[in-house]
Structure 1
């Protein structure tokens, strides 16, 4: 495959996943901000969301206050924010057009129809929750079309690679910005609701109760989102998928491998054989910060080996 095609497919996967992740974050921040207000508790959900999406520095270059209105506008439609929902869909569509023949009709239709509707969508006020749910559904439609209709060749693998890497980064960032909530503490109403919000951000609240059959506990939440391979958005599952895809790409290229393959194997082994007790005792924040850095380095190595070589 040409490197420019691999680049477009890799970033097609990343941008669609990123749009859904931002929509998930906004939905949870909206709910938590309302709950904090009802309980008279101080909450900073909007600033936390900016940190989790990596947008805080860029946001405060344009805004003085992390209010709901400012953050929603910045994370949905601001053209200067490449992580915004509309910007992500625009970038995904641009990449999809450059590899149009590698995509199926259903994939292109899902993405193109979403873009056309998105340009005229209303998301202010009471329409925001419905809009965010619509964004998630459109990304699920695109992913479903890819799973059901795309040939399992290199184009498919590069889309999957981008999706898995972006998902791993998002889970680590989400946990890191909320790491203080997963330390042993009194289980106040607001804290318990925050734990629910963390799980809801990755659609894992029901999965938690299915796996543990118990009330929410910080250590178990951290274990589920970091080490449990059954959860599709856990760090172990995401990096396992990255390793699997890289191995399949290498097999299709006569075993050609690079530093990205070694890094992916090392990261997955660290997660697969990790213990939550050791992670928490050494410091959850330090662990997650290291995972975010290593995931970014892995992404750079993948691009250096397959795209920029």
Structure 2
């Protein structure tokens, strides 16, 4: 396989996963903002921009920090490189360049997602925005389903590798949403609003039911973090995606003959998370742990780019 083709496939996986994450992030923020009579308000939307690495760029627009302005920026803005529109546009252009490496179902999912957002120019009401986001998430699930029906060849593994690297990053950023969200004045840590905020984080990764299966004695921040970081039973957990990345790199090494720094970094990361206990994460600082992990994931992606000669 040509290095350019491999690069296109890897980034299709990343951009499709990023579009879904941004949709989930906006949906989570809408729900967090509406939790109580004293919602988080601007703090919630400011945190969404921070987690999406778009806060400084948004501030340069001079627009006020309102739900509609932030949602429009994260969904539609052509000036935001990580907006859902730009992610789907780039994924579609890459897919057109490697059309024969995708199944018909995979291409159609990408194309439908793009056409669904290209026909819109702004979000509507809160419910209308949620409806749009849910439609985009559904198309991405269709894309994931198409991936899993592909032959286990290089094109499949590069698509999955991009998705896995992006999902690892997104789960860490999603957990970090809660670090940035400020409880409304008068609300206590561990109180009803605090628990609702953590519950909303679970909802964005479709893990409410999974949490009840794994933990019988009620919701707590410690258990939510443990499940999303360390429990491999949850496919979107950090530990599960770390394992998946190692497996995908091993399969690609077998097929392509390329093995190197990316494999070493991925296995070391896997060893570290295998030896990590939730107590260490909480004691050392959840925010610090997640930020260090996000940086490590960025460096691993660079190593993948070099190892498979994407540039």
**Residue in structure 2 matched with residue 136 of structure 1 by the alignment:** 137
1:33-65 Cα deviation digits (max 9, x unpaired): 1224x2466662111111111111111111343
In the alignment, the residues of structure 2 paired with residue 114 and residue 290 of structure 1 have an alpha-carbon distance, to the nearest angstrom, of: 33
**What does residue 124 of structure 1 align with?**
124
**Aligned with 1:236 (options 236, 239, 258):** 239
Q: What does residue range 44-193 of structure 1 map to in structure 2 within 5 Å? A: 44-121=43-120, 123-125=123-125, 126-148=127-149, 150-179=150-179, 186-193=189-196
| Stretch moving more, 120-129 or 295-304 | 120-129
SS of 2:190's equivalent?
A: coil
In 2, the alpha carbon distance for the partners of 1:258 and 1:205 equals 39
- Which string of whole-angstrom CA distances, capped at 9 and with x for unpartnered residues, describes residues 280-309 of structure 1? 112212211110100000001101111346
Could you tell me whether the CA contact under 8 Å between 2:46 and 2:55 is conserved in 1? yes
When structure 1 is superposed on structure 2, of 230-239 and 118-127 the one drifting more is: 118-127
Superposed counterparts of 1:272-287, under 5 Å: 272-287=274-289
Deviation at 1:163, TM superposition (A): 0.3
In 2 relative to 1, CA 230–116 (structure 1 residues): closer, same or farther, beyond 3 Å?
Answer: same
When residues 97 and 190 of structure 1 are mapped into structure 2, their CA distance, relative to the original with a 3 A threshold, is same
Structure 1 unaligned blocks of 5 or more:
none
Question: What is the match of residue 199 of structure 1?
Answer: 202
Contact kept in structure 1, 2:72 and 2:123, CA below 8 Å: no
| Secondary structure of 1:178's aligned partner | helix
Task: Name the CA distance, whole Å, in 1 between partners of 2:132 and 2:225.
Answer: 30
Q: Which moved more, 1:107-116 or 1:89-98?
A: 107-116
Aligned residues: 304
Query: d(CA) in 1 for partners of 2:302 and 2:39?
Result: 44
1:23 matches 2:26:
no
TM-score by length of 2: 0.93
Give the TM-score, by structure 1 length.
0.93
Q: Distance in 1 between matches of 2:226 and 2:78?
A: 37
